[in-house]
Chains A and B, each alone.
Chain A
Amino acid sequence: MAPRFFRHGPSLLTRLVFFVMLSLVLMAVDARLKYLAEIRQTLSVLVYPLQKLANVPKTLYDGVSEFFFSGHLAEENANLKQQHLLDRGKLQQLRALETENAQLRKLLEAAQRVETKAVMAEILRVPHDPFNRKVMLDKGSQSGIQPGQVVVDDIGVVGQITRDYPWASEVTLITDKDHSVPVQVVRNGLRSVVSGTGKDGALELRYLAVNTDIQEGDTLVTSGIDGVYPPGLPVAVVSKIERNSTYVFARVTCIPVAGVGHNRQLLILSMQTPVTEIPVEAIELKPESRKR
């Protein structure tokens, strides 16, 4: 057996080619197929403690600055109390409306609106990756987070959970280039799909005809048709419309309502009931079965 010094194994170039091919295959598999979730989860267990450790300076800084700026607390508390009173008043009305709505829906035999449950999560980290608009949250599958759940802040939709790790989850923001949300214009009920552009603070409505009735300042809310986003959550406001008659489609640019990218805490919504049921009207019912 040759001494260690003389053993070299495969040449450097061979090793390079091997690892380059391996990473190309990994990239292709990760982008197109979804086989790598388990490997990712296993490796994330290794990375997670380091992520927590890397967060320590920020947590310390927050603690220290809270300690020094606690003078604002009294003022903030007073404001919050006032807000709380106002909100309570509104909540009373909302409850009344909710029961009324439920009754009316029962009268009309319409499907119940979906109830949602919310879990509060904190942003663990904004990845240093200019190609994707994603954030990591500090709640994962151990807290019942699943891919597909919707993430909102206090104003509107922020994004959607796309990957879950045991103690963390990955949110794709609505500004990500591969992300779309089915929306509806509040003013006239026009349905469309708003897509991210990959840039911060910009969304676009694609494939709207030049003569579509849409105006600057229109608010877009989720339509709930996809069964992923609960209906009625504010998503974006139309900021700019370019109608060029040489093109088939108008260029509609929107600004997200929610503070996508400058929040610390976010809410993860989970739907209580699956919405993707076949509507009753779609099934041919016999008269006797309808009576039941």
Chain B
Amino acid sequence: MNQASKSNNTLQSNPLFELGKERLELIGKHADALMQGYLQGHVDEAAFTVQALDKLINGRILWRPDEQQPLALRPNVNDLIASLTQDERKRQINSDVGEHLDQIHTRVQSLQAARQKGDYAATEHHMQLLTERVYDMTGQFGDAIESLWHRLNTEFGFVSSLDDKILEIELAQRQLRRILDGFSIINFDDLIQLAGSDGALRKLLVSQLQARISEHSGSLLEVQKRLVLLMARFRHQQDRALLINRMSAFLRQHPNFQVGDYPNRSQVPAVVNQAHGIKAQAFVALDRAQDGYALAELARAVPREPEQGSQSETQTEGFAVAVQSLVATEQKQLAKDVEDFFIRVIESPEPLSGVDYLAEQELTWDPEIWLFQVVAEYEGLPQQSKQSFMLEKERTPKSRFNQLYIIKDVKVGMRFFGDFQAVG
């Protein structure tokens, strides 16, 4: 515990500690404006005070790429945000292996020199930097591969058009190629020699690195395979869309274009050979005794119309039912006459009187029944149609002592007649 706090103290006394912390805080403090700058490609200077701008520029967070250009995020800050947010539009893939290997070589040489001198602290320091460098390298590949997977799994959804997606796949394929090329530069024989008999170095530079690289290679090969498949699919889609667009454009431009008479060629192309549909119909047949029962069942199951039922009643009850059916027929005739009346109303420019119409048409209905039917028909109309008609009852009180009225006549006309005429 004591030792840990002591090492904490020594770390905190490192001047880098304060500076780094201050700058990280600076980023956090201006997160809103910086993110806007990230998305827009440049920052809005008005969003900061002069002091804040100075700090951000001195802090190597913002810069001015060119005197004419507005302030923007430094590339490293852009990369940081892209990597944190998995923003594939801006994420960089760094596949430069050679640089890493050079640094590793130099680091190992410094380490061995320090060790020969017996400088324990310097040896420690170089070992730490070397370890970081190796992990940086594999981590970078890991990030690159992760980015490739991410793009693949989202099917390059960060660009919208198919053409752009195909370009993005081509780019990803080139990046992948470069990473694989980078792997081939790593010569493990060299590294084994470099590590010599030092167990820790051997572990770091040979066994661990080898395991990571072979894992990454496996992953990359899988990405490569999937990219090829996705590319084939996109190309197929693109091809189809082009075919459709061009064919329809062609047909529009050549309305009289005649397609060959493929069906009557000696060799009919398979694509037009398509048999016409035939319906296999079958009917009731009584020529097989064993079907009799099943057919009878079916016949019994046929739903009967209610009228057929009343027919059998006719036979048993005779007279009463005959009157009933007579009434039904009369009722139908009445309804029809009322309907004709309404049709006349529609044609007539003025409201018509029900009683007058009855007389005029020499219909034999009792006026009371007639009026009743007219009112019933009006009331029975659907709401919408009802609104088109206007029904006025002409009524007189039966007596002074109660509220009973007798309807003497009804006048039916079209509502808003003037409007209708205007429209017509």
A and B found bound together: no
